[in-house]
Amino acid sequence: MPLKLMRFGDSAVEPAKTGSVHVVDAQKTTGTGIAHRSLQRYLTPLYVSPPSPPASDDTDDEDMDLFYQPLHRHSTLHRIVLARNFRTTIARNKWYRLDLQVVNELGLQLLGDKKKQCCMQVTCDVLFASSNNNDDDDGDDTDGRSMPVEVRPLSFDGWDDIMPEVAGFNGSGHGGLEFCLQGSDQYPTKTKYFFLRVTPLCDAKQTVEALPLVLGPLTLTDDDKGDDDWLDERNKATLNRTYAASYLNRFANHRLQFNLIIREGWSLGTPGKMWDSALVVSEMMAKRLIRTPRVYDRCHIVDLSAGTGCAGILLATLCRELDPAHRTTITLTDLPSALGIIRENKDLNLGTRVDPRLRIEALQWGNKQQHRAIVGTHPADIILASDVLYEPKCFADLVTTLEDMSTFGRTVIFLGYKRRGLNDEEEALFFRLAELKFHINVITEHGMLNANNAVKWEQKHGPMVRNWAGQDGKGWLGRYAQECATAKGLSSHSQSGVVIYRLVLKAPGK
């Protein structure tokens, strides 16, 4: 079930401006249908998460930079992750240590000057389960109640090379904090678990931007004996990300208060991580929905290779919050081995009850039988595809899948892509294959649709646009984004290299 924040601090923001929309033809922009062609080649494709550089002296660091630096290009929005295991049960009025590190979306630690100059102060707060989507409908009311958290810098540890002077990071990509959960030994809700969120503070000295870290679910205990380093898997806190729905209130007259929680499973590889394109595509779709709550009414949205399921689950949760009787069908697809984490995230945010409007289906690219099973009786109106371009040998099957699941004149595809490992020839291969079957355009914030290839949904609701608020994916930054809404440094992650393409089938025979 979605989580409700115990305290709110939205600041007033000038509403985003609307206006004419202009869709740029990718071919005319780049000559090959590929944006950012001038970027240098990467050394490793997206699906590879190489080990972080080993600790060494400055000379060795410089040598390692020659290999790892290309893997950090466009990594302007980082992730806070655990550097040491943490327990799932904690006691009140006792101090606990959180060892943290800053990595990019590939899981690589900071390098060189960026590591030495890393400065980011963080704080903690507690999230509780919202009553809105509880399966038992117990009517919990979390408004106005809190579980206060006191935060301080790390105390000296014999294993520490650098001690941050603040709670967070100072002069290193490794840092952390100590926290103490205060108050009486009672839960403020009937739901006997909670989450701890670690959020960057908007500080003038900050040099790194990162997604907040959410740990949990956690429970209270009177017996907190044990060493976090020796916890078994059942007692290790899981790593999650959160989307603050309150961020969307500034785009329309709504009072959304829930926090979507998405569990990551980095040990699963590609499907277990939230990639930058998913952050951008999910928020692009969410902003459109919040402005026009019935924009996806009676639509079938397919989230192709959904990974953690963050995009489809965010949309499903928003649809349900805005109208419990909504008529939007959302299908999340991925390989069978990746469906487990999608189901976990669905259950966490929407409960375990079966909802025919939200389907989770296995799909392997090129499998026509699976294609027909998903769209045979209910054709897709919108297909989302985030960061699916990473293995050239799969491009033909990917294009076949997109073609099979599209209906001429009805289906529009929004494909998010961020260049990491593909070279010019590999990128060109995908777009050559795709352009045989699809019209391809880049989604921007200004322009007009080509009436000759606008699909039914676009004819009714107009084209999709992005960057309405100047930055993509800000809702995933939560309170940090809200407090830094006018900060100069925050704008850099909007230039992270994510391009969203619009694909629609060409007329049969063309």
In this structure, what CATH number is given to the domain that contains residue 112? 2.60.40.10
Indicate whether 424 belongs to any domain. Answer: yes
Same domain, 316 and 200: no
Q: State the residue range of the domain holding 105.
A: 69-130+145-224
pLDDT > 60? residue 322:
yes
Mean pLDDT of 154-158: 75
Q: Which of 209, 224, 239 is the last residue of a domain?
A: 224
Indicate whether 113 belongs to any domain. Answer: yes
Same domain, 290 and 412: yes
Both structure tokens of 145: 């109640």
- pTM (predicted TM-score): 0.81
Same domain, 281 and 190: no
Mean pLDDT score of the chain: 78
**Alpha-carbon gap, residue 390 to 46, rounded angstroms:** 5
Mean pLDDT of 360-372: 96
- What angle (nearest 5°) sits at the alpha carbon of residue 4, between those of residues 2 and 324? 50
pLDDT (0 to 100) of residue 7: 33
Among 39-48, 133-142, 276-285, 366-375, the least confident range: 39-48
Same domain, 190 and 274: no
Distance (Å) of CA 64 to CA 67, 101, 118, 458: 5, 19, 18, 49
pLDDT band, very low/low/confident/very high, at 29 (cuts 50, 70, 90): very low
Nearest residue to 33 (alpha-carbon basis) of 503, 506, 509, 507: 503
Mean pLDDT of 235-263: 85
Segment 299-315, tens digit of pLDDT:
999 999 999 999 999 99
Contact 280, 466 (CB under 8 A): yes
Provide, rounded to the nearest whole percent, the portion of the chain with pLDDT above 90.
46
**Alpha-carbon gap, residue 329 to 297, rounded angstroms:** 9
Q: Which of 192, 224, 256 is the last residue of a domain?
A: 224
pLDDT > 90? residue 187:
no
pLDDT (0 to 100) of residue 4: 43
Dihedral sign for Cα atoms in the order 157, 162, 163, 168? negative
Segment 202-231, tens digit of pLDDT:
777 788 888 899 999 998 887 666 555 555
pLDDT (0 to 100) of residue 191: 59
Same domain, 464 and 333: yes
Between these two residues, 294 and 138, which has the higher pLDDT value? 294
Distance (Å) of CA 37 to CA 33, 178, 206, 389, 419: 10, 45, 31, 15, 9
- Supply φ then ψ for residue 219, to 5 degrees: -130, 160
Both structure tokens of 498: 């994510």
Indicate whether 408 belongs to any domain. Answer: yes
Mean pLDDT of 90-116: 87
pLDDT (0 to 100) of residue 410: 98
Is 461 strand, coil or helix? helix
Among 17-31, 134-148, 482-496, the least confident range: 17-31
Between these two residues, 295 and 244, which has the higher pLDDT value? 295
Both structure tokens of 12: 């007033």
**Alpha-carbon gap, residue 88 to 81, rounded angstroms:** 16
Both structure tokens of 63: 């040598």
Same domain, 281 and 160: no
Q: Distance of alpha carbon 389 from its chain centroid, rounded?
A: 17
Kindly report the CATH number assigned to the domain that includes residue 436.
Answer: 3.40.50.150
Same domain, 320 and 210: no
pLDDT (0 to 100) of residue 460: 95
Same domain, 496 and 429: yes
Phi-psi region of 207 (alpha: psi -120 to 50; beta: other; left: phi over 0): alpha
Cis preceding-peptide flag for 217 (omega within 30 of 0): yes
Both structure tokens of 224: 């907190």
Side chain identity at residue 385, one-letter code: A
Same domain, 197 and 338: no
pLDDT > 90? residue 48:
no
The number of beta carbons lying within 10 Å of the beta carbon of residue 135 is 11
**Which residue bears the tokens 């931007």?**
209
Phi-psi region of 417 (alpha: psi -120 to 50; beta: other; left: phi over 0): beta
pLDDT (0 to 100) of residue 480: 63
Residue 7: CB partners within 8 Å, gap ≥ 6? 125, 146
**Which residue bears the tokens 């967070």?**
168
Same domain, 206 and 288: no
pLDDT (0 to 100) of residue 348: 92
For residue 26, the surrounding DSSP H or E stretch is helix 26-30
pLDDT band, very low/low/confident/very high, at 117 (cuts 50, 70, 90): confident
Indicate whether 240 belongs to any domain. Answer: no
Indicate whether 5 belongs to any domain. Answer: no
pLDDT (0 to 100) of residue 49: 33
- Supply φ then ψ for residue 36, to 5 degrees: 60, 40
pLDDT > 50? residue 5:
no
Segment 485-509, tens digit of pLDDT:
544 444 444 446 789 999 999 998 7
Mean pLDDT of 102-108: 87
**Alpha-carbon gap, residue 303 to 363, rounded angstroms:** 11
pLDDT band, very low/low/confident/very high, at 41 (cuts 50, 70, 90): very low
Indicate whether 32 belongs to any domain. Answer: no
Nearest residue to 413 (alpha-carbon basis) of 500, 326, 479, 497: 500
Same domain, 338 and 435: yes
DSSP symbols for 272-313 = GS--HHHHHHHHHHHHHHHHSTTTTTT-EEEEET-TT-HHHH
Indicate whether 138 belongs to any domain. Answer: no
Same domain, 220 and 271: no
pLDDT > 50? residue 111:
yes
Total domains, the chain: 2
Gyration radius (Cα) of the chain, Å: 23
pLDDT band, very low/low/confident/very high, at 236 (cuts 50, 70, 90): confident
pLDDT (0 to 100) of residue 83: 92
pLDDT (0 to 100) of residue 47: 27
Indicate whether 3 belongs to any domain. Answer: no
